[in-house]
Amino acid sequence: MTSETTGFLYPFIDSDERDSSSLLADLGTSAEAKAVQSRQLQAATLDRFAEQIAEITDEMAARFAAGARLFTFGNGGSATDAASFAALFTRPPWGRPLPARSLVADEATLTALGNDVGFELVFSRQLIAHSRANDIAVGFSTSGNSDNVIRAFGEAHRRELLTVGLAGHDGGEMATCGDVDQCLVVRSDSVHRIQETQDAVALVLWAGVQAIVESKGDR
Amino acid sequence: MSPSSGTVLGTVAGDLATASLDMARRFAAGATMWCAAPQWPSHAQHLAVEFVHPVIVGKRALPAVAVEGGDLVSMLRIVSSSGDLFVAVAGADEPAVGAAMRRAPAWGLRSIWIGTGARPAAGAADHVLWLDADIAESAYGGGFVLVYHLLWELTHVCFEHPGLLSIPAVGDAEECHDEVCITCSDEGRLAEVITTGPGSHARVRTSAGVEAIDTTLIGTPQPGDLVLVHAGSAVTTIEG
């Protein structure tokens, strides 16, 4: 991989490397540095969106009080974040359970729609079947450009759901499509750091809704 | 997560480093990574998809599977092979994960346990990555996600060091850093009973494969029991 004359410049790609101690030290330092970046991005994002998060939690709590259901969606790691967010509402670590469902959860429905009408419609078609005007749609996409997420927001917006989007990078289409009532863009180019901060935002959204629901005690 | 130490990760940073190198070595040797999170199934899926479909184009796809549903122990017993990895995201008191972790050495699995709150007993897994943080923050606020994102990122850094990817031979200093090293000392090896009989004999699974042993010293064990095997005999039963 390296020539004899330049090999000393690249000790890390040397296949003769035998001592793992310097690699382990580098890995530990790198892990801490990334964790610090993650923590700073979370803090900066939550700070930047404080007002918007308060608006969203007020609106979500009002809709839940009027019988709303929450639908969540996303792809890949964002699908699992969507599932976690729904689980937070239905099986909360504390507080009151609220009706929520991940549109990724049912593999029969997901594959039926993907196979028959196209993967870009797997979430929007479920919203057509399930949603009512007062409901809430929360979609996750680190690029902001996932076609099925954008299509789902289009359908949700037409059907007068509250639409909340969690995006990353520059927000992509989610930020510009006009179908997302509240779009929270995590300004980072790292998919991993974006997801970690989206989860922190999601937890704050849930806790905010819980706090309002608890204080009203109307269910 | 460990604010008192002035860092975000505290000692978890070093734990992540050693776990990642171990994982990279096992993957390089052909391991599959089995992921479980009975309390939060989406974490098992998220962990697996990171490795199977990397977010960074060009990084190699690695075999990782979320193990879900009913009986984790029965499932892992049948799908896993010696040399594989088992990663759990779970509290220390999660019974199915505890049972699977206790059997991991008999099945030949390297185990990694990610969690928060009260720690598992010392030695409960090969690598314990334990956050000092609130359960909601860890499970839903990005804490666990950060840990396995870092595990993925560091594992791929290790792949850039091919000279360090061979698994240390039994007896190497790197492998035998503890007072007791069960692979090279006189300690018994952990085994799981598959079938019993005839007489005082049993077939057991160990990290080396299926072996026939003598059970005179422990009476008749039941299939699924964990026993310590020394010189071809079960010397004691371990609570599984």
**Over the stretch B29-72, which tens digit does the pLDDT of each residue have?**
999 999 999 999 999 999 999 999 999 889 999 999 999 877 99
Task: Name residues whose C-beta falls within 8 Å of residue B232's C-beta, 6 or more positions apart in sequence.
Answer: B211, B213, B214
Query: What integer pLDDT is reported at residue B169 of this predicted model?
Result: 72
CB crowding A30-68: b at 16 or more within 10 Å, else e: bbbebbebbbebbeebbeebeeebeebbebbbebbeeeb
State yes or no: pLDDT of B185 exceeds 60: no
Looking only at the bridges linking them, the beta strands covering B189-196 and B226-230 are antiparallel
Residue B75 burial (CB < 10 Å; 0-12/13-18/19+)? Answer: middle
- Supply angle C-alpha B158, B162, B163, rounded to 5: 110
Task: List per-residue pLDDT tens for chain A, 219 residues long.
Answer: 444 455 555 555 566 788 999 999 999 999 999 999 999 999 999 999 999 999 999 999 999 999 999 999 999 999 999 999 999 999 999 999 999 999 999 999 999 999 999 999 999 999 999 999 999 999 999 999 999 999 999 999 999 999 999 999 999 999 999 999 999 999 999 999 999 999 999 999 999 999 999 888 654
Return the amino acid letter for A32. E
Comparing alpha-carbon positions, the chain A residue that sits nearest to B163 is A15
pTM comes to 0.92
φ/ψ (deg, to 5) at B238 = -105, 135
The distance of Cα A135 from the centroid of its chain, to the nearest Å, equals 18
Residue A189 burial (CB < 10 Å; 0-12/13-18/19+)? Answer: exposed
Return the amino acid letter for B159. F
Query: What integer pLDDT is reported at residue B207 of this predicted model?
Result: 94
In the structure, what pLDDT confidence band is assigned to residue B183 with cuts at 50, 70 and 90?
low
φ/ψ (deg, to 5) at B128 = -115, 115
In the structure, what pLDDT confidence band is assigned to residue B171 with cuts at 50, 70 and 90?
low
By three-state DSSP, how is residue B36 classified?
strand
CA-nearest of A96, A69, A70 to A202 is A70
Give yes or no for B199 touching A (CB within 8 A). Answer: no
Give yes or no for B37 touching A (CB within 8 A). Answer: no
| CB spacing of A36 vs B49 below 8 angstroms | no
* Residue of B1, B139, B161 lying closest to A17 (CB–CB): B161
**How does pLDDT run across B197-235, given as a tens digit for each residue?**
899 999 999 999 999 999 999 998 999 999 999 999 999
Looking only at the bridges linking them, the beta strands covering B226-230 and B233-238 are antiparallel
Query: What integer pLDDT is reported at residue B2 of this predicted model?
Result: 46
| CB spacing of B17 vs A24 below 8 angstroms | yes
Enclosing H/E stretch for A32: helix A21-48
Average of per-residue pLDDT values in chain B = 91
CA-nearest of A87, A70, A84 to A196 is A84
**How does pLDDT run across B14-29, given as a tens digit for each residue?**
999 999 999 999 999 9
B153 vs A contacts (CB less than 8 Å): 30, 34, 192
A84 vs B contacts (CB less than 8 Å): 40, 42-43, 139-140
Sheet containing strand B33-36, edge to edge, reads B64-66, B33-36, B85-89, B110-116, B127-131
Query: What integer pLDDT is reported at residue B197 of this predicted model?
Result: 87
Looking only at the bridges linking them, the beta strands covering B127-131 and A162-168 are unpaired
| CB spacing of B55 vs A39 below 8 angstroms | no
State yes or no: pLDDT of B188 exceeds 90: no
Average of per-residue pLDDT values in chain A = 93
Distance from CA of A85 to the nearest CA of B (A): 7
Looking only at the bridges linking them, the beta strands covering B209-214 and B201-206 are antiparallel
| CB spacing of B42 vs A83 below 8 angstroms | yes
| CB spacing of B46 vs A15 below 8 angstroms | no
Distance from CA of B33 to the nearest CA of A (A): 17
CA distance A39 to A43: 6
Looking only at the bridges linking them, the beta strands covering A100-102 and B209-214 are unpaired
| CB spacing of A38 vs B146 below 8 angstroms | yes
